[in-house]
Amino acid sequence: MRLLLTTDSTTRRVLLTVGAALLVVLSSPPFGLWPLAFVALVPLHAALRNAGRRTRVREAAAIGFGFGVLVHLTFFHWLLAVPFVSAHHLAVLAAYLAVFSAVFVVIWSRLSGRFALPLVPAALVALDWIRGHAGFLACPWGTIGQTQSENLPLLQWASVGGEPLITFAVVSVNVAVAELLERGRSLRPIVTLGLVALGHVAGAAMMPATEGRPLRVAAVQPNIDPRAPRSDSDALRELTERAAATRPDLVVWPESTAGDTEHDFLALFRTRAIIDSVGVPVLFGSSSGSTSERGYNSLFFMTPGKPMPQPYRKVRLVPFAEYAPIGPAIGPRMFDTIPGDTRFTFDLDGVDVEPLLCFESLFADDVRVTASARPSVIALAVNDAWFGKSVAPELHNLVSAFRAVENRRPVVIASNGGPSTIFDASGRVVARARSFEPDVIVAAVRVDVPAGPYRRWGDAVPLGLIVTTVLLSFVGPFAERRRSAASTVLRAKAQLSCADHERSKRSAHTSSS
């Protein structure tokens, strides 16, 4: 604190910007200090107070851009473990995402007083929405709302407004704290903090009961080297037999671990032999693409003794990894994958199995496409072993807590290197594998929790709530201005009336004289 008080204005802004970035990093895995997210942006507001008036927009943009670069370089550093990814690729990604941070901080710098709440939180929600719907540049990963994946009471509101509503709450607290530190006691920030606190209490009461239709699911984690030319069938057999011994209704294998079952008949026969021997339905991943040959990234659903239905083909491909939207200078290309053209579910004795492949879990709309009123489970096959022994799998898994609550459906994650995880419909971890070693997890989860508004209508709910809140924020000031204007007119009329009365008295006095 003494350092901030004794340094010059520019150095102080730099220290505050770095401090804000550090707080955001600490609120995410591997540190997971999620309460820090509620004050992580406050140093940015303090940095803005030091900016000169003439260069305020330019300096605010620099503060926001620097903050964004620091946060995203730290968040995505594990990309360097992927073959073909260079430091300049990471720098381009961080700079691109930092543009959104810069715009947000500029907006915050232009809004103050009564207009900061709720306009500043609404601005970040809008920017996050744009960032997540930007075509091949879409990247809805690493938002400040996602830091709350372990904050179960607040997380329950995702069933109403999805991740955007959680982001709105977190940023609202940051803005309220910043205003209280700047102006002291003020009604609107205090009311905001009270509402978020009540939201936590109400969220705890919203957690669904565990009684209902159960489904016993298992995830197999073989920890196979993703660069290996073929699957390790012995490991898959042993782990699947361990899972089958617990009598699950469904077993899920990770992405690509069965090999190329579409063209390699030996891989297909090995897979069929394993599944027929254990006597349990298995959802398994198969990949036929490579850097030199086009193919699909698929999920197959195989039931012992029955023919397979058509496979699910991955619809949303990873740009610069599974296809190259533009030249290699911006991003690498690892595979040449053909996208699927439709999303659908597999039927498991009256329960819908909603398949997802890796990257697709980051997009809430991709999960909602197959939503129905039937009991269902979201099955996610992942191969994050490409990122080595890094925090990447943890960062990927936490997003599934949001998908579970948004849809009020359990999510079973079969991850090649782990940690494979099973979330129930409240976003709570009910089973978790050991990281970077072969393992099996099994859990019974409820698959018939009543869906909330977000599963039915998606982002229309949070965006509608936020727009309504923003409009209502103008009602008070507008009514106050109208009352003030009316009072001014009445005072003016009263003064004119008094002046006319005095003139009349003086005129009458003059006439009598």
In a domain, residue 312? The reply is yes
CA distance 363 to 140: 7
Q: What is the CA radius of gyration of the chain?
A: 28
pLDDT band at residue 54 under the 50/70/90 scheme: very low
Of the candidate ranges 183-192, 438-447, 470-479, 492-501, the one whose mean pLDDT is the lowest: 492-501
pLDDT of residue 52: 47
Instruction: Check pLDDT > 50 for residue 479.
Output: no
pLDDT band at residue 499 under the 50/70/90 scheme: low
* Mean pLDDT of the 249-260 span: 93
Same domain, 452 and 346: yes
Same domain, 192 and 237: no
Instruction: Check pLDDT > 80 for residue 3.
Output: no
CA distance 101 to 127: 9
Same domain, 163 and 232: no
Cβ density class 437-476: b for 16+ within 10 Å, e for less: ebbbbbbbbbbbbebbbbbeebbebbbebbeebbeebeee
In a domain, residue 496? The reply is no
pLDDT band at residue 498 under the 50/70/90 scheme: low
Pair of tokens at residue 81? 């473990």
Same domain, 230 and 201: no
Instruction: Check pLDDT > 70 for residue 441.
Output: yes
Phi, psi of 357 (to 5 degrees): -120, 110
pLDDT of residue 464: 84
Per-residue DSSP letter, 451:
P
CA distance 207 to 318: 33
Instruction: Check pLDDT > 60 for residue 157.
Output: yes
Residues sharing a CB contact under 8 Å with residue 483, sequence separation 6 or more, in sequence order = none
The domain that contains 411 carries what CATH number? 3.60.110.10
Pair of tokens at residue 318? 């990873």
pLDDT of residue 501: 56
Residue 46 vs residue 228, higher pLDDT: 46
Instruction: Check pLDDT > 90 for residue 295.
Output: no
pLDDT of residue 5: 47
In a domain, residue 428? The reply is yes
Among 190, 208, 226, give the residue marking a domain's end. 208
Rounded to the nearest integer, the mean pLDDT of the chain is: 87
Residue 373 vs residue 78, higher pLDDT: 78
Strand partners, 352: 347, 376
Domain hosting 287: range is: 214-456
Same domain, 203 and 235: no
Instruction: Check pLDDT > 70 for residue 500.
Output: no
Of the candidate ranges 146-155, 229-238, 280-289, the one whose mean pLDDT is the lowest: 229-238
Instruction: Check pLDDT > 50 for residue 298.
Output: yes
Pair of tokens at residue 303? 């039931």
Instruction: Check pLDDT > 80 for residue 78.
Output: yes
Q: 358-369, pLDDT tens digit by residue?
A: 999 999 999 998
pLDDT of residue 396: 95
Count of structural domains, the chain: 2
pLDDT band at residue 182 under the 50/70/90 scheme: confident
Cβ density class 299-334: b for 16+ within 10 Å, e for less: bbbbbeeeeeeebbbbbbbbbbbbbbeeeeeebbbb
* Mean pLDDT of the 503-513 span: 58
Instruction: Check pLDDT > 80 for residue 4.
Output: no
In a domain, residue 499? The reply is no
Same domain, 348 and 250: yes
* Mean pLDDT of the 282-302 span: 84
pLDDT band at residue 287 under the 50/70/90 scheme: confident
Number of H helices, E strands in the chain: 15, 12
- In degrees, rounded to 5, the angle at the alpha carbon of residue 417 between the alpha carbons of residues 413 and 422 is 20
pLDDT band at residue 418 under the 50/70/90 scheme: confident
In a domain, residue 108? The reply is yes
Same domain, 230 and 165: no
Same domain, 311 and 433: yes
CA distance 414 to 11: 47
The helix or strand, by DSSP H or E, that contains position 443, with its residue range, turns out to be strand 439-446
Q: How far is CA 128 from CA 131, 146, 459, in A?
A: 5, 11, 12
Same domain, 186 and 286: no
In a domain, residue 463? The reply is no
Same domain, 84 and 147: yes
* Mean pLDDT of the 296-306 span: 94
Among 208, 236, 261, give the residue marking a domain's end. 208
Of the candidate ranges 212-226, 329-343, 441-455, the one whose mean pLDDT is the lowest: 329-343
Among 436, 456, 476, give the residue marking a domain's end. 456
Phi, psi of 142 (to 5 degrees): 85, 30
* Mean pLDDT of the 443-470 span: 89
Residue 362 vs residue 504, higher pLDDT: 362
- Tally Cβ neighbours within 10 Å of residue 14: 15
* Mean pLDDT of the 372-383 span: 94
Instruction: Check pLDDT > 80 for residue 506.
Output: no
* Mean pLDDT of the 47-53 span: 67
Same domain, 310 and 221: yes
CA distance 364 to 146: 13
Instruction: Check pLDDT > 60 for residue 457.
Output: yes
Instruction: Check pLDDT > 70 for residue 478.
Output: no
* Mean pLDDT of the 372-380 span: 93
Q: 387-407, pLDDT tens digit by residue?
A: 888 999 999 999 999 999 999
pLDDT of residue 453: 94
* Mean pLDDT of the 434-449 span: 96
Residue 336 vs residue 122, higher pLDDT: 122
CA distance 413 to 334: 23
pLDDT band at residue 512 under the 50/70/90 scheme: low
pLDDT of residue 507: 62
Same domain, 199 and 231: no
Instruction: Check pLDDT > 90 for residue 14.
Output: yes
pTM score of the predicted model: 0.88
Instruction: Check pLDDT > 90 for residue 150.
Output: yes
In a domain, residue 512? The reply is no
pLDDT of residue 322: 85
In a domain, residue 503? The reply is no
